[in-house]
Amino acid sequence: MSSLRLLLVQGLLLLIPAQLGLTLVSDEEWAQYKAQYNKNYKFKDRYHRGLYDKRVQLVADHNRRYLQGLEGFEMRLNQFSDIDQKVYYSYRMPIPPPTEEKSRAFRKPSNYKHYDEITKGIDWRKYGYISAVGNQGIGCFSCWAFSSSGAIEAHLAKKNGKLVPLSPKHLVDCVPHPNQGCNMGWVSVAFNYTRDYGIATKASYPYQPKTEQCHWNPKNSAGTIRGHVTLTEGDEKELAEVVYNIGPVAVSIDHLHEEFDLYFGGILKIPSCGLTKYDLTHSVLVVGFGTHPKWGDYWLIKNSFGTSWGESGYFKLARNANNTCGVATRPQYPLV
């Protein structure tokens, strides 16, 4: 066989796995991935490897389009690349959204700017009001505690001129029903608890990804709130006004999508995202917003998946795009 023909045959053989949706992940690469993220599967190794193989191909295909300028965000393999988060969530009974009393009109500061008057975005991280990104852990669905504690500490920092990181673990252990610790919960319930009992500092009540017995003494409160405001459902302009004029806002989104799991940077758009209050599965913290010259308006959002995920723990989500993933469906912030 001529050398040219041999090269053509080898090229065709390399194309076959891609055409069949397969990858060339070796045993060594799979072992390295598991070691990197401390994963050990005694009975379902083949299942998780199959998911990982699929995600390797997905990331490669997506990033090829990203490099061609056809996608506005980049993907990367990470701690979620071999699991299906929808399966994890299906093991838990969903907690219906609590009924919210209609909020009184939020108090506007004297220099309040309406949406049409806002000429540029904002990033509250630049003001020193946002604490370091936390990591809730894969098996602990405590996002609601990170989102609510992050909102409270930011607003207290804005009021007092000093950032004191607060404890999501205190909320995980102590906030009562309908919240269920590592089995999900709602930000508004955490706000109501903090209003009544206060919240511990992060240093005094450190985080572990599990629900334990509450050992909180209200006498040691590091901060409290007067209540909270729930913004108009689906109104992204009002949400932007509040973020700009008042401060970070806790929101919940539909996040059970591979695009979210594997997000690495850029402006995230997920066409299949839900936006009703019953679609919301993950609580995060809007700390700002801006506009990209090509991909348009975006929200700047703090997540609780650690700093190796996304843009050092943050992500940008499409803004003014029909309430993408329900970002403006249930926005709330504390009154301090």
User: Are residues 269 and 133 in contact, defined by beta-carbon separation less than 8 angstroms?
Assistant: no
Residue 150 is inside which H or E element, if any? helix 143-160
* Per-residue confidence in pLDDT tens, the chain, 336 aa: 444 333 333 333 333 343 344 557 899 999 999 999 999 998 899 999 999 999 999 999 999 999 999 999 999 999 999 998 887 676 665 667 777 765 656 788 889 999 999 999 999 999 999 999 999 998 899 999 999 999 999 999 999 999 999 999 999 999 999 999 999 999 999 999 999 999 999 999 999 999 999 999 888 899 899 999 999 999 999 999 999 999 999 999 999 999 999 999 999 999 999 999 989 999 999 999 999 999 999 999 999 999 999 999 999 999 999 999 999 999 999 999
As a whole number of Å, the CA-based R_g of the chain is 22
Going by C-alpha positions, the residue among 163, 230, 171, 229 that lies closest to residue 200 is 171
| Pairing of β 263-268 and β 314-318 | parallel
Residue 246 in contact with residue 107, Cβ under 8 Å? no
Distance CA 292, CA 120 (A): 11
pLDDT at position 269:
96
219: its two tokens: 């006498």
φ, ψ dihedrals at 318, nearest 5°: -50, 135
Please name the amino acid found at residue 168.
P
Q: Name, in order, each residue with C-beta under 8 angstroms of 99's C-beta and a sequence gap of 6 or more.
A: none
Q: Give exposure, 103-140, as e/b (b: 16+ Cβ within 10 Å).
A: eeebeeeeeeeeeeebeebbebbeeebbbebbbbbeeb
CA angle 154, 322, 99 (to 5 degrees): 60
Name the residue among 210, 250, 233, 220 with its Cα closest to residue 335.
Answer: 250
Query: For the chain, which domains are there?
Result: 3-86 (1.10.287), 98-335 (3.90.70.10)
Residues belonging to the active site:
143, 282, 303
